Structure 1
Amino acid sequence: MVTHLFTNGGLMEVIQKIFPTDTTTSSTSVIAQTGWILLFAALTALGAQIQIPHQPIPFTLQTFFVLLSGAFLGTRNGFIAQLFYIGIGAVGLPVFTGASFGLVKVFGLTGGYLISFPIAAALVGYFVTIQKGYVWTIISMFLGLIVVFTFGTLYLNFIAIHNIQQAIISGFLIFSWWDILKLSAAAAIYNEFAKRYR
C-alpha cells in the first residue's frame, strides 16, 4: 500500500491540494524545479552515507541537506524533495544510512527522523521567506530541527527505549552539538546565497 502511494498519481494529487502550483508556470520552469528537487533528494541520500557510527542513532549529514532543501526550494518543493527521498528508499533504492533501504528502515529506529524530513523542510521553506538575515535563517532552521528531533525522539521512545528521559538523551541531546554545527553552516550558506541572488 505504501509503495503504491509512491508509484501512482494519488500522492501527488494530495500534494497538489496542499501546495497548489501556479498554473502559469512554464514548462522550462517546471523542468528546472524538478531538477532541483532531484538534486536535493540526492544530496540528502549522500548525507546519509556520510556518517559517524553511533548506537542507536548514527551521526549523519542528512539534516544539513534537509534544512538547505527547505531554504533553497521553498515550502512545496522542499517538502516534495524530502518525500521523494523517503519514497525511493522505501521502494528499494539504497539511499538511507549505510546504503540501507525498504519499509523496514522507514519504520525502524530512525523512522521518526525520516518521516519528519518533509515537514521540517516545508517549515524552513515557509519561515525563511518571512524575513531576511542570518539570525532569522538560524531561527527558521532551528524550528525545522525541533520538528526533526520531536518526531525522532518520540518515535524512538515508542518503538525501542520506552523511557522518555533516556530517549531524549539518546535521540536528541547527544546530537545537539553536531546539529548546531550543521545548522550554523547551512544558515551561512543560504544567507550568503540570499544576499547575492535574492
Structure 2
Amino acid sequence: MSLTLAPAPRTLAETLALPSWLLVPAASLVIAACAQVAIPLPFTPVPLTGQTFAVLLTGMALGSRRGALAVALYVLEGALGLPFFAGGAAGLAKLVGPTGGYLCAFPLAAFVAGLLAERGWDRKPLTTVLGMLASSLTIFLFGALWLAHFVGGITPAVVQGVLPFLPGDVLKSLLAAGLLPGAWQLTRNQTR
C-alpha cells in the first residue's frame, strides 16, 4: 500500500476549491470595485486609487498566471468600455493617455507579485511588504516612462507619477502584510 500526499498549495487560491474560470473574473471585478476608490490629486494626472493594491493582492493571492490573467481581463474590460478604471473611466483612450503606462503594467506587476507569492513571499509580513514593493516598482517604472511623454520628461514624470505615491504604496504593502500572512494562518488552522 502506498500513500500519496497532495502537494502543498503555493498560493492562497490553491487552498480554495474554486476553479480558475470563477476566480479570474471575480478578481477582475474586485479590482474594478477598488479602482472606484479614487482621489484626484491637483498636481498630477495620476489619481490615488485602490486599484494598485487590488492588482498586487490579486497577483499574490491567485499566483503568477491566474493573477496576471485576472488583471489583463480587468484592463481589457476597461478598454472595451466598461466603467472599471479609476473613477469609472473606460475606453481605449485611457490606455494611450497619461495613465496608460500604469494600466498596461498592471498584468506584469500581478505576475511578479504572484511569482513571489508562489515562492512563499506572502507567508511572512516582511517578505510580503518587500514583494508588494518590488511589484509596485514594475508599475512605477512603466507608468513613469509612459507619463514622461505627457509631462515633459522623466524628471517631471517621477515627481508627478512616482514620488507622491510612495508613502501610499508603503501603507498598502503594510496592509497586505497583515492580510496575506493572516489568511495563510487561517487556511492552516482550517486544515488541522
Is the shorter-chain TM-score for this pair beyond 0.5, marking a shared fold?
yes
* Range that drifts further, 56-65 or 125-134: 125-134
Q: What is the aligned partner in structure 1 of residue 62 from structure 2?
A: 73
Count matched residues.
169
Compare the two structures and name the one with the higher helix fraction. 1
Give distance in 1, aligned partners of 2:187 and 2:60. 13
Contact 1:128 1:136 in 2 (8 A): no
Give distance in 2, aligned partners of 1:84 and 1:189. 24
Residue 37 of structure 1 pairs with residue 24 of structure 2: yes
Matched letter for residue 58 of structure 2: S
Residue 135 of structure 1 pairs with residue 122 of structure 2: no
> 1:1-198, aligned counterparts within 5 Å?
32-54=19-41, 55-131=44-120, 132-158=123-149, 160-197=150-187
TM-score, normalised by the number of residues in structure 2: 0.83
Matched letter for residue 129 of structure 1: E
Contact 1:41 1:84 in 2 (8 A): yes
Describe the superposition over 1:145-183 as per-residue Cα deviations: whole angstroms up to 9, x where unpaired: 00010111111002x012211111100001111111111
SS at match of 2:57: helix
Runs (5+) with no aligned partner, structure 2:
1-15
TM-score, normalised by the number of residues in structure 1: 0.81
Q: Percent identity?
A: 36
Describe the superposition over 1:24-57 as per-residue Cα deviations: whole angstroms up to 9, x where unpaired: xxxxx99622222112111111111111111311
Give distance in 2, aligned partners of 1:101 and 1:67. 21
SS at match of 2:118: coil
Q: Cα distance, 1:129 vs. partner? A: 2.2
Give distance in 1, aligned partners of 2:79 and 2:39. 23
Larger radius of gyration: 2
Runs (5+) with no aligned partner, structure 1:
1-28
